[in-house]
Amino acid sequence: MKFVVATHNEGKLPEIVTIVEGVLGQRAVDMELVSAGSLGLPDPVETGVTFEENALLKARDVAKRTGLPALADDSGLIVDVMGRAPGILSARWSGSHGDDTANMNLLLAQLSDIPDNKRTARFCCAAALVVPVSGGHGSAKSRADEGVLIREARSGQANSADGCFQETVRLGEMKGVVIRAPRGGHGFGYDPIFVPDDQPADHAVGCVHGDVGAVKGSTRMNMDYDASINRREGVRRRTLPLTSAEMTPEEKNAISHRCKAFTALAPAIGELLRTVQ
């Protein structure tokens, strides 16, 4: 069954594919995931005021244009001291959509005078599934307790039979801190300057000169960094916890906001796959 992932971000698509395959396991063999960008679809204007609204907006636009089930997510970084900013504007914080370096540099400049113990933040993600369905004329129906909406599409051109869609949205978050300089070459967006509270289990974090105790979720910001491997103990010992960009894709996906959101969305995807078998 073909699903269109409503993204033009080349870094996001493989991450979503990996997460969905990991969550669904054997059921994922029945899925073919393609990006909206690869189909030449336009990137819709994100007019929502929440992550949930923007995720549904993007998935709904793709479903209307293709008549296929659509997956989308909207995510961003919320810095506590900045009053929920950058939030839904995370991808275009510097004014240039998708310019990760410019976005990071601006945020770091805005936080330059903020002490280390006030740099708490969290990544938030809303993951949405929108499925064209037939026979849905009439007023909108909702199952709010399940986070599922079935509503009549009243704007735009829909390729589905009647413009009615089943919509499901789920949320996930990853807490941590914003450090003072980028570290790591994996991931995208703000990953190089974000240290998650939850760290991979095989990393012992502590001072390699003296204090060697593990400090899971430490928020120390000093830049003495030692990535040496302690082969005798079989663990990597560091003076600092890892940024999201220093983690392997597998390590990041195990704790990420996006993984949590799509894991919560998985039952709806699995139910859809069962209905077409």
Taking the C-alpha atoms of residue 224 and residue 105, their distance in angstroms, rounded to an integer, is 21
Please say if 226 is a catalytic residue.
no
Taking the C-alpha atoms of residue 151 and residue 142, their distance in angstroms, rounded to an integer, is 8
- Asked if 107 contacts 190 with a C-beta cutoff of 8 angstroms, the reply is yes
Count of helix runs (H) and strand runs (E) in the chain: 5, 11
Element (H, E) at 150: strand 148-152
Q: Is 175 annotated as a binding residue?
A: no
| Catalytic annotation, pick one of 30, 43, 73, 74 | 74
Q: Is 75 annotated as a binding residue?
A: yes
Q: Is 190 annotated as a binding residue?
A: yes
Q: Is 189 annotated as a binding residue?
A: yes
Q: Is 187 annotated as a binding residue?
A: no
Q: Is 159 annotated as a binding residue?
A: no
Q: Is 191 annotated as a binding residue?
A: yes
Q: Is 217 annotated as a binding residue?
A: no
- Asked if 77 contacts 119 with a C-beta cutoff of 8 angstroms, the reply is no
Give Cα separations from 132 to 66, 67, 231 (angstroms).
9, 6, 54
Q: Is 74 annotated as a binding residue?
A: yes
Across the strands, what pairs with 195? 177
In the Cβ-directed half-sphere of 130, how many Cα atoms lie within 13 Å?
32
Q: Exposure of 93 by Cβ count < 10 A (0-12 exposed, 13-18 middle, 19+ buried)? A: buried
Q: Is 9 annotated as a binding residue?
A: yes
Q: Is 257 annotated as a binding residue?
A: yes
Q: Which residues are catalytic?
A: 74
Binding site members for substrate = 7-12, 75, 188-191, 252, 257-258
Binding site members = 7-12, 74-75, 188-191, 252, 257-258
Binding site members for Mg(2+) = 74
